[in-house]
A and B are shown apart, each in its own frame.
Chain A
């Protein structure tokens, strides 16, 4: 559905995107992840034909974004960052106006406006002015607009920014409902959100692509961590750890003579049995032994850490 090759965008001296390559298949739900200023919105603006790139190529549904912008626009439903809406229109009139811009005939437009309003849960405010709506409702109006023409590809730039937890949840469940029928690209700097809604994630940082792939695979590529609490002296525990050749270890002394150890950077095999056996051998008391599957957050931090301040 989306083919991006070597995409580069300069704003004067500033390099916003630096040779990004990725592709998104039909029906995938892909999360675009990165800290503020990573280039997420710029990429989305180029995909939606709003901006041109400095170099590189972008194809959507086989159509070139730069050569055939109008064919590409027909395939896309887009909600820009901050979801800008005219405040002087009623919800129904706005959606009707947008439907006309998207080449829907009058009768189909009326039907679609009702459908998307229902789908997004804004039927009860359809006759109110957009300026009077709460942020959560406005966000859903923006999403309703993106859905109007039943596009193959839906691009949402930070759909949940500025929403309260309940509103966030309802937007998220809406996105999940859309999955499967449409290809969806969402950007966010909230990791849990991407984790909950997307099959695949693309991580951007300072205009560079750090990682791209299925969420589970990406996470499993990063290292597991084992946490254990043992009653022994700190020196004994350190010696024991170096015997076992455990890497990246952290030790924190606790009350009651316990030492809390965290071993990250271990290989994929499970260390818990070995730890338990050796601790048992020494006759130490053990009150915790657990393995932590890294979250997207860990992955994100490990990928972006130490890259701060390169600007």
Chain B
């Protein structure tokens, strides 16, 4: 009875599984077929955008505009992709470009234009504009009506921004300035900032508010673009004639930067300390204890509008443009609609860009309060200047626009990344002197710009030849393998069993070949190539060993990341093993509810990932984090202060903080140890106790030797894992300050996915493999001295 029902159940499950598989295939098949049929009539254009700060509303407005466009153009069909925020957008865009199937129309931030243009990703739009104006098309785009700086931001001639061809039609923009807390200004008896206030007035206001109890004068973010905006108000910049000759150590530049550093680090309460990783950026303003926050653009407005009114515990606020120094200046940050150079329907794409950049769409978006229309007429209209909504000073953004300039960047994205990361060490965390930070920046940038990988042109990667070699090699190895199998001379019934075995394993074997072996071989080939990762593989160039040469000979950051990782490994591996073993010994006790304790120890291993990393960022925060709150009472009697883990003390305490955090995940290792402990025969302990051993002696004489094969296994796994730290560092510090927490794999990620150096990153991956392999071999080689494998056999 029970057997029949079990059999029935099994059959039922099998039928369900088969139905599910058939259904899944059918569904996908039908969808693909449908797409082909429908496409016969209408041309499909793919549009991709993000809606980070604008949220659902921005998403809806774009959707409505596209439906409107489809109504007006019945021969076109628009497919929309919205990956979410800007970060996800660029990741998605990169993969789509690399696969040779980019969207036709997409957002591009002006800061990316030089890099994208130099990679040949964007189509120039000048011809479209010219033809439109010759034909006098009804909705043609008149760039004269745009704010000039927003137009310049998408012009690039290969060297300079603001000149040359047009690569996008700006859809919105912002100027920057400081958001100020009206209530705190009133309490400090200060006059509101004027439309053309100065840095002296700014700092005087900040100091006054800093004197109020429990208040800070200003949050001054040191993002690279904002640093340049600040420098421009003093009539200087970080680039000389070109980006290859940075002017960061010029006297005037240094003086301006040092003034900023001094405001933060020589005074107390004037600027936020820069200690905290979490309490920084636009969110600091929300607590009502900070007088000014900036330089920010318009994008913070949606979140600031959620600040409740004064009678509900909130405060009133407004916007003031960037203060002036020697020069009254501002910057423009803008996003365009651009067209892919790979688009198969450029004409249709252009008509869509024309529609989306037009005044009606811009006005619709402006009502959100987030975007400032790039078309002057729309910007000064009531769509943007809504008197019923904060900030009152909408006009401040627009008056600043007339004196604003573009912030251009070189084609190599590392300039911006290095500038931000290095200067932050001097300006924000203050863990090294400003002069040293500037020197580091200039040195690291020089290494980058003089790399043999930049500038020179190389031969194309001989993919066809490599493909043949790979094909022949794999066929040859297959033949050899089959020959080896044949030689086994098995009787017929065993041979058929063997065939069945391989047949059953074949899904895995095919999967392994496609998804593991192929990418591994590809990465090996790419380690000898220059490939940007945003263009199809046939654009890869063969560079010989240049990647390895640059890495091993010149790249200081590579060395630093290896050292940081090794430092972490030296701490985390032994500490993790010891703690896991101690925990396993405890959890091996026969106590009531021991299963509960075991589960509790194991639980954190289940919770790994981004969420836990965010949690630990809070714990290690130098400004009120749990860790320091717990440590300080212990350290104060000794005359010590708790370290600023990811701030001033990051050189010593950055990697150890991650090692400490890694102890949170010892549960998995502990379970393996626990299983090992339970395998040790009890009579060995009894024999030892009769032979005269106490508990401690038994641990050294019985437990450790008997456990040694498991210790070996766990240690090797831990060593491998310790060289693969990524998520924690990526989420918690992003490698900052400087490169002090830039773990190897994080730097690999930076190179591959942020600087578009996929070949370089592949070379790094192979070096990592060699390092881990070497360490594993060393450990295995020494293991016959301390591992007693006999323990498993007797």
A and B found bound together: no
